[in-house]
């Protein structure tokens, strides 16, 4: 069994000890940081008296003073001997955080572990307002109240079940045919849902840009709502973003006004799951993304696309990285990145 070795950590095959296949990972460093954000000073807010701990006497809380807000949180694992030339950054979607890519709701390893085993240094982030990036006061700093996603919306919007197929009783829910999402783990997945704000896009973009500036050169694998931020960061730092994989991305800059000359040297791949045609919302999303991708190709860039049913892979939801066949999908991404010359 490998142990701590002179400045690096040789992590043994914990997966093997748990009955899971996979070689040991030799890890050089595990760490985390916050990046971006700004300082804010609040004044004129009333004091409140609160009991901070049950049984303790009340204390006065003064909400005024200096604060750090609107930063991004990231944790990373760097391998002792990576096979990839640059690290891989995993960016989550709306109402979610970096947990999207960690252990899957059914308890199986997620894409963070897959790409580590594939030889990448991996960074997983929580965007502004999400997870360990934390909140700020509203309306003093965040300009609106948060909103929350009901389980019914996630079940249907993420194409796990058809419209009006959700029920509070798990036994009454009806998944789409051949659904790859682990249905029994849906309520566990719903625990990952966290509040989001509709007024923080500029702050979020600024934090992602600071993240890219700090960590990259890199590959970005981005999911859903995060796509718009990734495309913009690639346009700002085309020398630092060596490839961009847009997984079921629901947003992008305006395809009619975007400056594709900025990113024509950044190879891009779009990955789509199944049952897109059943939902008008997803039809509109994919039409916009196809226009963006076609414009990129016409400008001389690389804009590839994988639609899983067209490859004979069926039943995938919007949450590809949580589906039972997530490793199969990740393998396609890994092979595409290798074809871009990003592995040693």
pLDDT per residue over 93-119, tens digit each? 999 999 999 999 999 999 999 999 999
Which alpha helices (DSSP H) does the chain contain, by range?
14-17, 111-117, 151-157, 186-190, 201-215, 227-236, 280-298, 326-339
d(C-alpha 335, C-alpha 198), whole Å: 36
Kindly tell me if the per-residue pLDDT of 227 is higher than 80.
yes
Single out the residue of 133, 263, 151, 255 nearest to residue 204, CA to CA.
Answer: 133
pLDDT in tens, 152-197: 999 999 999 999 999 999 999 999 999 999 999 999 999 999 999 9
Backbone CA torsion sign across 156, 160, 164, 167: negative
Over residues 194-212, the mean pLDDT reads: 96
Position 58 scores a pLDDT of 87
Is residue 13 predicted with pLDDT exceeding 90?
A: no
Q: How far apart, in Å, are the Cα atoms of 81 and each of 86, 265, 344? A: 12, 27, 11
Helix, strand, coil fractions of the chain, as percent rounded to 5: 30, 25, 45
Q: C-alpha angle with apex 242: 344 to 29, nearest 5 degrees? A: 60
Question: Quick check: 338 pLDDT over 80?
Answer: yes
Question: Is residue 335 scored above 80 in pLDDT?
Answer: yes
> DSSP characters for 248-284?
S----S-TTT--GGGTTTS-EEEEE-S-GGG-HHHHH
Residue of 196, 201, 252, 253 whose CA lies nearest to 224: 252
Report d(CA 96, CA 225) in Å as an integer.
10
| Structure confidence at residue 14 (pLDDT) | 39
Percent of the chain whose pLDDT exceeds 70: 94
pLDDT of residue 330: 98
Looking at per-residue confidence, does 20 or 137 come out higher? 137
The pLDDT of residue 241 is above 60: yes
In Å, what is the CA distance from 203 to each residue of 112, 141, 198?
26, 11, 11
Q: How far from the centroid of its chain's Cα atoms is residue 95's Cα? A: 10
pLDDT at residue 250 tops 60: yes
Report long-range pairs for 256-260 (Cβ below 8 Å, ≥24 apart). 258/231, 258/292, 258/295, 259/235, 260/295, 260/296, 260/298, 260/299, 260/301
Cβ atoms of 221 and 247 within 8 Å: the answer is yes
For the entire predicted model, the pTM comes to: 0.92
pLDDT in tens, 49-92: 888 888 888 889 899 999 999 999 999 999 999 999 999 999 99
Give the pLDDT confidence of 25-52 residue by residue, as tens digits: 999 999 999 999 999 999 999 999 888 8
What is the set of domains in the chain, with CATH numbers?
81-339 (3.40.50.1820)
pLDDT at residue number 24: 84
Query: What is the pLDDT averaged over residues 259-274?
Result: 97
Q: What are φ and ψ of residue 147, in 5° steps? A: -125, 160
Average pLDDT, the chain: 93
Instruction: Please determine, for residue 23, whether its predicted confidence score (pLDDT) is greater than 80.
Output: no
- In this predicted structure, which of 49-53, 146-150, 217-221 has the lowest mean pLDDT? 49-53
């Amino acid at each position: 069994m490998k142990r701590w070795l002179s400045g690096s950590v040789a992590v043994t095959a914990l997966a093997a000890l748990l009955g899971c296949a996979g070689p040991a990972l030799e890890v050089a460093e595990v760490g985390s940081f916050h990046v971006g954000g700004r300082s804010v000073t609040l004044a004129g807010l009333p004091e409140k008296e609160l009991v901070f701990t049950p049984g303790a006497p009340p204390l006065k809380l003064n909400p005024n003073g200096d604060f750090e807000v609107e930063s991004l949180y990231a944790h990373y694992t760097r391998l002792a001997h990576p096979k990839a030339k640059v690290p891989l950054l995993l960016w989550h979607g709306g109402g979610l955080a970096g947990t999207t890519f960690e252990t899957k709701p059914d308890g199986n390893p997620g894409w963070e572990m897959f790409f580590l085993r594939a030889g990448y240094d991996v960074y997983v982030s929580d965007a502004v307002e999400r997870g360990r990036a934390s909140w700020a006061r509203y309306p003093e700093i965040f300009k609106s109240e948060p909103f929350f996603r009901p389980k019914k919306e996630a079940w249907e919007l993420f194409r796990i079940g058809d419209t009006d197929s959700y029920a509070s009783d798990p036994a009454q829910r009806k998944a789409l045919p051949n659904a790859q999402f682990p249905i029994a783990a849906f309520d566990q997945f719903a625990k990952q849902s966290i509040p989001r704000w509709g007024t923080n896009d500029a702050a979020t973009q600024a934090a992602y840009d600071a993240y890219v500036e700090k960590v990259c050169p890199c590959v970005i694998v981005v999911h859903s709502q995060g796509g718009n931020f990734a495309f913009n960061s690639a346009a700002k730092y085309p020398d630092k973003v060596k490839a961009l994989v847009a997984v079921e991305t629901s947003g992008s800059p305006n395809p009619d006004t975007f400056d594709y000359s900025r990113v024509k040297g950044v190879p891009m791949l779009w990955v789509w799951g199944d049952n897109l045609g059943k939902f008008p919302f997803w039809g509109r999303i994919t039409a916009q993304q196809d226009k963006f991708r076609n414009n990129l190709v016409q400008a001389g860039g690389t804009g590839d696309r994988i639609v899983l049913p067209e490859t004979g892979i069926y039943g995938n939801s919007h949450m590809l990285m949580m589906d039972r066949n997530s490793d199969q999908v990740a393998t396609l991404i890994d092979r595409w990145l290798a074809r871009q010359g990003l592995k040693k």
